[in-house]
């Protein structure tokens, strides 16, 4: 497993299934993390209020209040910190909406514990906007052209920036099998170019139109894109991690 930065990290794990809660907690404790447990949203809020938590991992479906309720509570207080990963065995909440509400990560049950640990470690290392610099020598695999300047594209709901990625409409469609694919990209607006690497988190094909919407999570950005992105976040209150056009 790659080098992890979990030692002494304060991790809050919420699940109403005692066995799963204990299994996940034990794995993180083996990596040196300090783990807090909660079996309800109310207990989780109490932990958050009294401890400096570095990251939160929560099941979605729980009695009374859900992981989505906790996500909204957290992001209303501070969109950036701590980051939150949601896990669920159900598909009643689309992945687009989970990222749009501000979650930084999402896993579907059953999942590999190794995947959860790696995702947690990555978010603790690089939770934006201070991503590693994109190597400009890397070949750009995907060039996305948006025939608007940034201001008009945002106002016309054809392009949107979140805290950890972006969403936009494509002129050509991508096949669904490309979801979660790691790519190098160049997103070319008329007055701005965003260049870096990332992962395709979702692709949504319009039911009543030929337009296809895509959500990309950033992994790295080149220096100019980083400068622009940091300035954008300073001047725009942004809760979605990856936005979604409804």
pLDDT confidence of residue 234: 85
Give the burial string for 26-59 (b: 16+ CB within 10 Å, else e).
ebbeebebbbbbbbbbeebbebbeeeebbbbbbb
Residue 167 CA to residue 188 CA, distance in Å, equals 13
Return the minimum-mean-pLDDT range out of 25-29, 80-84, 126-130, 241-245: 126-130
Same domain for 161 and 81: no
Q: Hunting for tokens 């309800």 — which residue is that?
A: 40
| Residue range 110-143, pLDDT digits in tens | 889 999 999 999 999 876 667 788 877 777 678 8
pLDDT confidence of residue 214: 92
Judge whether 19 lies within some domain. Answer: yes
- DSSP class of residue 36 equals E
Same domain for 156 and 100: no
Same domain for 148 and 103: no
Predicted confidence (pLDDT) at residue 227 exceeds the cutoff of 60: yes
Judge whether 179 lies within some domain. Answer: yes
Cis peptide before 60 (omega within 30 of 0): no
Please count the structural domains in the chain.
2
Judge whether 116 lies within some domain. Answer: yes
Same domain for 114 and 24: yes
pLDDT confidence of residue 63: 83
Same domain for 38 and 112: yes
Band of pLDDT at residue 212, cut at 50, 70 and 90: confident
Q: Which residues pair with 75 in a beta bridge?
A: none
| Domain endpoint, select from 98, 125, 152 | 125
Band of pLDDT at residue 156, cut at 50, 70 and 90: confident
Predicted confidence (pLDDT) at residue 14 exceeds the cutoff of 70: yes
DSSP three-state, residue 159: strand
Residue 109 CA to residue 155 CA, distance in Å, equals 37
Band of pLDDT at residue 91, cut at 50, 70 and 90: low
pLDDT confidence of residue 197: 93
Same domain for 65 and 169: no
**Which pTM was predicted?**
0.89
Provide the CATH number for the domain around residue 28. 3.40.50.2300
Same domain for 76 and 146: no
Range of the domain at 32: 10-125
pLDDT confidence of residue 164: 93
pLDDT confidence of residue 208: 58
Same domain for 101 and 182: no
Share of the chain above pLDDT 90, in %: 51
| Residue range 23-51, pLDDT digits in tens | 999 999 999 999 999 999 999 999 999 99
Q: Hunting for tokens 């479906």 — which residue is that?
A: 61
Same domain for 193 and 102: no
Same domain for 121 and 41: yes
Same domain for 215 and 158: yes
Return the minimum-mean-pLDDT range out of 86-90, 132-136, 207-211: 207-211
Q: Is 10 exposed, middle or buried (0-12, 13-18, 19+ CB in 10 A)?
A: middle
| Domain endpoint, select from 96, 125, 154 | 125
Residue 33 contacts residue 55 (beta carbons within 8 Å): no
Judge whether 57 lies within some domain. Answer: yes
pLDDT confidence of residue 177: 53
Half-sphere exposure of 66 (CA within 13 A, CB side): 11
Provide the CATH number for the domain around residue 195. 2.40.10.220
Beta strands in 115-223 (DSSP E): 142-145, 159-161, 165-170, 182-188, 193-205, 212-221
Short-list 209, 69, 193, 65, CA closest to 134? 193
Q: To 10 degrees, the CA torsion angle through 146, 147, 150, 152?
A: -130
pLDDT confidence of residue 163: 93
């Amino acid at each position: 497993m790659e080098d992890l930065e979990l030692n002494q990290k304060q991790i809050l794990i919420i699940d109403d299934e005692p066995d799963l809660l204990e299994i996940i907690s034990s794995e993180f404790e083996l990596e040196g993390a300090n783990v807090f447990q909660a079996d309800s949203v109310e207990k989780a809020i109490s932990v958050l209020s009294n401890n400096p938590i570095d990251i939160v991992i929560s099941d979605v479906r729980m009695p009374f209040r859900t992981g989505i309720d906790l996500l909204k509570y957290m992001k209303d207080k501070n969109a950036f910190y701590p980051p939150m990963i949601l896990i669920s065995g159900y598909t009643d909440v689309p992945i687009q909406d989970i990222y749009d509400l501000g979650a930084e990560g999402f896993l579907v049950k059953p999942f590999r514990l190794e995947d959860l640990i790696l995702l947690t470690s990555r978010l603790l290392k690089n939770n934006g906007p201070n991503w590693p610099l994109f190597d400009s020598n890397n070949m750009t695999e995907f060039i996305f052209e948006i025939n608007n300047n940034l201001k008009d594209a945002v106002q016309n709901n054809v392009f949107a920036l979140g805290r950890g990625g972006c969403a936009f409409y494509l002129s050509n469609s991508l096949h669904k099998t490309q979801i979660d694919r790691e790519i190098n990209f160049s997103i070319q607006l008329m007055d701005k170019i965003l260049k870096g690497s990332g992962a395709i988190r979702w692709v949504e094909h319009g039911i009543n139109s030929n337009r296809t919407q895509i959500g990309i999570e950033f992994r790295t950005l080149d220096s100019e894109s980083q400068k622009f992105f940091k300035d954008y976040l300073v001047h725009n209150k942004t809760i979605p991690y990856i936005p979604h056009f409804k």
